[in-house]
Amino acid sequence: MNEIVYDVIIVGAGPAGLAAALYTSRDRLKTLMLEKLAPGGQINTTDRIENYPGIERIDGPTLIEQMQKQVVNFGAEIKSGSEVTKLEKLKNGNITVYCDKDKCTARAVILAPGSSYRKLGVPGEEEFRNAGAGVSYCGTCDAPFFKGKHVVSIGGGNTAVEETLHIAKYAGKVTMIHRRDEFRASKVLVEELLAKANEPKSNLIIKYNTIATAIQGKDKVQSVRLKNVKSNKEEDYSCDGVFIFVGMEPNTDFLKGFVELTKRGFIKCDCAYLRTSVPGVFVAGDCRAGAAMQLATAVGDGVLAAMMLKEYYRNPAWWKEPVKT
Ligand code: NAP
């Protein structure tokens, strides 16, 4: 039997990949999406999206369910539980994508594998790494496990602020620590956070200029070693759990040696057309160099990469052409 050659294989079924698939499937291109887990990626762990234009408020899983339905209705095929391990450019220009037990070939590929939680890298983080033992990277998922308890949340970005506000709905007390005295998060979120911390009898405390140097306990978290980076004062701070929100790392290990990556592992591309170093391989979303790491921009990337496919099909030499001005 002849092997199916897809028009496009999309690696990753998060917002970027699903947006790309919407456009390719509406263009009647034979589209296969390969997803390591289930569609959605990081956005599945968000219970409140209120910066996606046109939608006042929605949770991640609902949005993803709708996006998924939309692409499947237009004919895209989604294979969940398919972890891509390797890609290979063939002499005829096609690209073979290898999964654990399977391989498939396409005329072009859109890489949209997203990003994962960055680790703090302190003693105890690995040892207590599940919500039962006390270390978590997802407040949306694990906050209910800490009802009435005292938790420490770490970070100063949008995720840290949003997730800390969510955790405060469940926990008896939340101590948020940030390594500086100014938040990276959007002003509107910081205002909400400070308003919550300033409420009379608030269960939210913020400690600035503070880092965690160890997570400690016996079988489960019992305290965090805190250090004030200005005074160098250290203390063992009692708590039942630690939520770590210190940013994201691109999921690109499997691409080493195939496409060019930056030192931090982001996929190099030209930002106008999202072409990578390998002809026929586009990139979209959080995993690319220069990504704004937003839902709306990931979706925009997916759409752009899908539209650029046609330029490549029309003329593969277009890959090397400079960006039109
Ligand atoms: P982020 O914006 O990179 O913020 C990471 C935070 O962790 C920063 O405050 C950083 O401190 C701190 N940090 C990093 N390494 C640390 C360490 N080793 N020890 C202590 N603190 C450390 O990451 P994010 O909040 O996960 O967000 C990722 C992207 O998604 C961002 O572009 C963000 O805007 C976006 N996002 C948007 C929304 C939204 O718009 N609603 C929601 C979630 C995420 P410094 O500030 O000192 O560097």
CA separation for the pair 249, 72 (Å, rounded): 29
Mean pLDDT of 46-62: 91
Among 91, 85, 71, smallest CA distance to 8 is for 71
pLDDT at position 2 over 80:
no
Percent of the chain with pLDDT over 70: 99
Nearest-CA residue for ligand 1 atom 7 is: 246
Mean pLDDT of 87-109: 96
Confidence at 101, pLDDT banded by 50, 70, 90: confident
One-letter amino acid of 135: V
Of ligand 1's atoms, which has the minimum distance to the CA of residue 50?
A: 41
- At 141 the pLDDT is 81
Catalytic residues: 138, 141-142
The answer to whether the beta carbons of residues 134 and 220 sit under 8 Å apart is: yes
- At 1 the pLDDT is 54
Mean pLDDT score across all residues of the chain: 95
Q: Answer yes or no: is the C-beta of 293 below 6 A from any ligand 1 atom.
A: yes
- Rounded distance from Cα 161 to ligand 1 centre (Å): 9
Mean pLDDT of 231-235: 98
Among 35, 74, 33, 42, smallest CA distance to 61 is for 42
Residue keyed to tokens 């800490």: 146
pLDDT at position 140 over 90:
no
Mean pLDDT of 22-29: 98
pLDDT at position 325 over 90:
no
The answer to whether the beta carbons of residues 33 and 13 sit under 8 Å apart is: yes
Mean pLDDT of 193-216: 98
Tokens of 69: 């339905």
- At 42 the pLDDT is 86
- Rounded distance from Cα 55 to ligand 1 centre (Å): 24
CA separation for the pair 24, 87 (Å, rounded): 21
Q: Answer yes or no: is the C-beta of 155 below 6 A from any ligand 1 atom.
A: yes
| Most confident stretch, 43-47, 70-74, 137-141 | 70-74
Give the chain as a 3 state SS string. Answer: CCCCEEEEEEECCCHHHHHHHHHHHHCCCCEEEECCCCCCHHHHHCCCECCECCECCECHHHHHHHHHHHHHHCCCEEECCCCEEEEEECCCCCEEEEECCCEEEEEEEEECCCEEECCCCCCCCCCCCCCCCCEECCHHHHHHHHCCCEEEEECCCHHHHHHHHHHCCCCCEEEEECCCCCCCCCHHHHHHHHHHHCCCCCCEEEECCEEEEEEEEECEEEEEEEEECCCCCEEEEECCEEEECCCEEECCHHHCCCCCECCCCCECCCCCCCECCCCCEEECCCCECCCCCCHHHHHHHHHHHHHHHHHHHHCHHHHHCCCCC
Percent of the chain with pLDDT over 90: 89
Of ligand 1's atoms, which has the minimum distance to the CA of residue 155?
A: 7
Nearest-CA residue for ligand 1 atom 34 is: 158
One-letter amino acid of 108: A
pLDDT tens digit sequence for 111-132: 999 999 999 999 999 999 876 8
- Rounded distance from Cα 98 to ligand 1 centre (Å): 33
- At 131 the pLDDT is 64
Confidence at 50, pLDDT banded by 50, 70, 90: confident
Residue bearing the bigger pLDDT, 45 or 108: 108
Q: Which residues pair with 115 in a beta bridge?
A: 250
Half-sphere exposure at residue 160, Cβ-oriented, CA atoms within 13 angstroms: 25
Nearest-CA residue for ligand 1 atom 4 is: 157
- Predicted TM-score (pTM) of the model is 0.86
Residue keyed to tokens 């929605």: 58
Q: Answer yes or no: is the C-beta of 48 below 6 A from any ligand 1 atom.
A: no
Q: Which residues pair with 237 in a beta bridge?
A: 224
pLDDT tens digit sequence for 250-303: 999 999 999 999 999 999 999 999 999 999 999 999 999 999 988 999 999 999
pLDDT at position 134 over 80:
yes
Confidence at 47, pLDDT banded by 50, 70, 90: confident
